[in-house]
Structure 1
Amino acid sequence: MSRTFRSLKVESFRWYATASLMTNTAMWMQRITQDWLAIQLTGDGAAVGFTTAMQFLPGLIIGPIAGNFADRWPRRMMLVIDCIAMSLPALMLGLIIMFGHPSIWHVYGFAAALGVASGVDSPVRQAYVRDLMDKDDLINAMGLSGIIFHTSRIIGPAIAGFLIAAVGVAYSFMGVSAAYLVAAGVLFGIKVKPREPDDVMTPGEKPGLAGGFQLLRQNPGLIVVMALTACVSSFAGNFQVSITIMATKAFHLGAGEFGSLTSMMAIGSIFGAFQVARLYRPSFAIVLLAAGLLGFCYLIASAAPSPIVFGIILLPIGMLSNMYLSTANAVVQLRVPPRFQGRIAGIYMACGYVFVPVSAIVIGVLADRFTPRTPLAVAGLICLITAGMAYAALHLLKVVAWRGKRLIELDPAIDVPSKNPLSEGFADNPNC
């Protein structure tokens, strides 16, 4: 099997990948259908932003707590139960549309319910991948998980757009609910791999979430990456809001064309995920370059004169978004011992969500007060400015530097053990 797909030789990961594809496809269908319903009910860009805010806000609180439990409870069963929980909001909203009179408050309420369930799903899913894979194949498994995630961004919006146009919003929600339940069944059948027996607490290590924050304090380079992710995700990560507003307000497109624009970005994301899957080691330098280039692309997209040009620009935006998010996540995850996996994943996810609820509303307000292009321009500027600030911080920590007109990483190979017992498994550089 090629280097890119080597993780698929593990049977349990193949089943996990199948369930993950179904779950993520359902999630993207649900998000797109929610956004479409919100703008149809109100005609307001701010309503789409508020829907996204209600979906991401619970993750700020739920994520770290779920990550803490993921380090103590069986992760597979947590994912099974969570898939069932995610199916309920879609089912209820679909029934309300079919037999009642939906209002925007129904959309907000069920978006928040999905946010609670997905807030549990994300850190547990990231930690569970490490249960399935050996360390040598972990970065490849993360890359393939990125391919799965972004493939679902093509399939999900395309299916949602087709169902909305062909049979209506209610049946799109029903399809979402069914997909979650099938994914739960697939996850339930995966064989459980025992956790590493030698990964035990060290003297002086704090239990629970306090131990996760203790670990981060000893590794400020990871804090810089998390802070950069918080800023990049705030506007650049809210692409579904920006694309919805651009499609309906700037280009006046229908449901099918709207889904196609989202799929264009996903195609670029898949290409970026393939590049990540080929890596043997994630890099701080790739994280910084991807964030900076992403900012330039968002500025260009804000000036796109037509839907075709806008769709073309979404290809590199998708590629760079995935390369940034996947590499930043891998930089963090591969530099923590397995016993911290869930807690650090939860903290990292909360950092990614911290500004998303507010920025989603701000995007809608900016589009209503100025033009539909303004949020994209603002996102580009934020990516450029924060990437520069992150480079300065990592340079002061002696993690990255410019040498020979090239951005390089000073951090040594992550396989070199640390002298710090709490951070065992980290690089020698205490600032990594």
Structure 2
Amino acid sequence: MAGARAVPGDAGARGAMFRSLRNRNYRLFAIGGVVSNVGGWMQRTAQDLLVLDLTNGSATALGVATALQFLPMLLFGLWGGMLADRYPKRRVLLVAQSLMGLLALTMGVLTVTGAVREWHVYVMAFTLGLIACVEVPTRQSFVVEMVGRKDLPNAIALNASSFNLARVVGPAVAGLLIHMLGGTGPIFLVNAVSFLAVLGGLLLMRASELTTPDPVPRVKGQLREGLRHVLERPDLLMPILMIAFVSMFTQSFSMSIALMAREVFAAGPSSFGLASSMFAVGALGGALMAARRTKPSRRLLVGGAISFGLFQIATGLAPGYPVYLLLLVPTGVALITVNTTANAGVQLAAAPEMRGRVMGLYVLVFTGGAPVGAPLLGWVSDLGGPRTGVVIGGALTLIGVGAAIMLTKAIGRRTHAAVRGVAAAAAGA
């Protein structure tokens, strides 16, 4: 009898975990995202291996390619968030996704024909980053228009699950295809085709079922207004600062998986894909656990960030490839815990008319640290080996967590003092 009673409860838990998928528009969005994310991770794997092949295994060159892909977000990310507030988000996504597909097609043709050069990869990475300046904050802030505030944390966690399911499948499939087809060129072409799923999903959505806020008119000072909104709200400032420090070494850690697999453990393309997939298995598990939560918490955010730094260090010290693969799983769990908790907390706390600009700042710090962290740890890895780069990255992550906590407290005290001063002046008048 006890077993019989457990079944409905389990079904209810599963229903709660996937409740956002009851929304038709979100289902279309999620299905297209799964297909495109698989293609995207296949391309990311192919890009890393292509750079290593073109440069005879240079970690510095790999770091430069990674940095160029995220440098535009550091320079122009805030403007991308402002555009997300000004224009219909579905229309912006259709244009951005089309451009990304065209870019993948161009890179695939260059690689298949043997015309590709190192500088082509750099140009592609930078151009992709320019498009992402607008696409990423728009896509992030579009979710609440499909599912509403109540289901927003669940939808964010399911998006992370989709992303990391693709992270499991994409690198493994890419490694096998590169081995079977003898090159990285076809992978770029597959990714180009995958964008059709996203575009189809966006076109099939019912506009009448979207909760679309009124576009923000174009006036001066909108960027400053968005920054001031964040600085005056500790519930926004804390997760954004935490992501700023953690993400500086997130992208470099993904890069380090390639270096550790190839240079330390002498793994081939298929084994390198396995390492990326093990990291993604942990991230997928962490995302599914996050889908059960209804409210993000600061304790979970800080605990996840500390765990990520510690597991980074542990992977750098792994004595063998099997142990390294096992350690990648909890590392992925910790990282996705930080990402989903911060993302949900920021979107729930932001004012609707500010959400695009706040997410622009969030995405800026999430990706903008890579131009600093990736070349730095690439250079350290060239000097002291990949293990040294991974361990230093983990130590710097832990230092960043402490810095984020102290900065939030310091800015919060200053803001409260300023508010008290204004109130006292008003009372005196």
Same fold (TM over 0.5): yes
Counterpart of 1:262 in structure 2 is 276
Contact 2:146 2:209 in 1 (8 A): no
Instruction: Give the counterpart of 1:230 among 225, 234, 244.
Output: 244
Structure-2 residue corresponding to 1:416: none
User: What is the total number of aligned residue pairs between the two structures?
Assistant: 397
Change (3 A) 1:147 1:306: same
The structure richer in helix per residue is 2
1:139·1:281 contact (CA, 8 Å) conserved in 2? Answer: yes
Structure 1 pair 287–34 and aligned structure 2 pair: CA distance change class (3 A): same
Structure 2: which amino acid aligns with 1:135? Answer: R
1:133 matches 2:144: no
2:15 is matched by which residue type in structure 1?
S
Structure 2, unpaired ranges of 5+: 1-13, 414-429
RMSD: 2.2
Q: Does 1:376 align with 2:390?
A: yes
Moved more, 44-53 or 181-190: 181-190
Q: CA, structure 1 residues 197+164, in 2 after alignment: closer, same or farther (shift >3 Å)?
A: closer
Structure 1's 393 and 110: CA in aligned 2 closer, same or farther, altered over 3 A?
closer
Deviates more, 1:144-153 or 1:382-391: 382-391
1:65 to 79, 89, 101: 79
User: TM-score when scaled to structure 2?
Assistant: 0.87
Distance verdict in 2 for CA 1:330–1:74, change over 3 Å:
same
Instruction: Supply the distance in 2 between the matched residues of 1:199 and 1:275 (Cα, whole angstroms).
Output: 34
Displacement of 1:129 in angstroms is: 0.2
Matches within 5 A, 1:374-413: 374-394=388-408
| In the alignment, structure 1 residue 285 sits paired with structure 2 residue 302 | no
Q: Does structure 2 conserve the Cα–Cα contact (< 8 Å) formed by 1:132 and 1:193?
A: no
**1:52 is the counterpart of 2:57:** no
Partner of 1:21: 34
Q: Is the 8 A contact 1:13 1:132 kept in 2?
A: yes
Among 75, 97, 118, the alignment partner of 1:83 is 97
Map Cα deviations across residues 274-307 of structure 1 (whole Å, 9 max, x no partner). Answer: 1211111111111101011111111111111111
In the alignment, what sits opposite 2:202? 187
CA drift at 1:379? 1.6
Amino acid at match of 1:181: L
SS of residue in 2 equivalent to 1:2: helix
Q: In structure 1, what is the Cα distance between the partners aligned to 2:21 and 2:200?
A: 20
> Compared with structure 1, are the counterparts of its residues 200 and 116 closer, same or farther at alpha carbon in structure 2 (3 Å cutoff)?
closer
| Whole-Å separation in 2 of the counterparts to 1:39 and 1:197 | 44
Secondary structure in 1 matching 2:386: coil
1:372-395 superposed Cα distances (whole Å, 9 cap, x missing partner): 111211121122222233334556
User: Is the partner of 2:207 in helix, strand or coil?
Assistant: coil
Which residue identity lines up with residue 182 of structure 1 in the other structure?
A
Report which stretch shifted further, 304-313 or 382-391: 382-391
Specify whether residues 98 and 393 from structure 1 end up closer, same or farther in structure 2 by C-alpha distance, changes over 3 A only.
closer
Is contact 2:235-2:349 (8 Å) kept? no
Distance 1:45 1:189, change over 3 A: same
Moved more, 330-339 or 263-272: 330-339
Q: Among all aligned residue pairs of Structure 1 and Structure 2, give the percentage whose two residues are the same amino acid.
A: 34
Output the amino acid matched with 2:204: G
Aligned-pair distance for 1:361? 1.1
Is 1:303 matched up with 2:317? Answer: yes
> Over residues 53-78 of structure 1, what are the superposed CA-to-partner deviations in whole Å (9 max), with x where a residue is unaligned?
11111112332222111112111121
Larger radius of gyration: 2
**2: distance between equivalents of 1:108 and 1:47?**
9
Contact 1:288 1:390 in 2 (8 A): no
2:256 partner amino acid:
S
Distance 1:99 1:283, change over 3 A: same
- Conservation of the 8 A alpha-carbon contact between 1:366 and 1:374: yes
CA–CA distance in structure 2, aligned partners of residues 191 and 303 of structure 1: 51
Tell me by how many angstroms 1:106 deviates.
0.9
Shift of 1:263: 0.4
- The structural deviation recorded for 1:357 is 1.1
The CA distance in 2 between the partners of 1:5 and 1:93, in whole Å, is 36
Q: Which runs of 5+ in 1 are unaligned?
A: 400-432
Distance 1:209 1:332 in 2: 17
What whole-Å deviation, never above 9, does each CA across 1:25-80 have from its counterpart, x for those lacking one?
A: 22222211111100011121111111101111111233222211111211112111
Greater shift, 278-287 or 57-66, is seen at: 57-66
The residue aligned with 2:166 is: 152
1:40 aligns with 2:53: yes
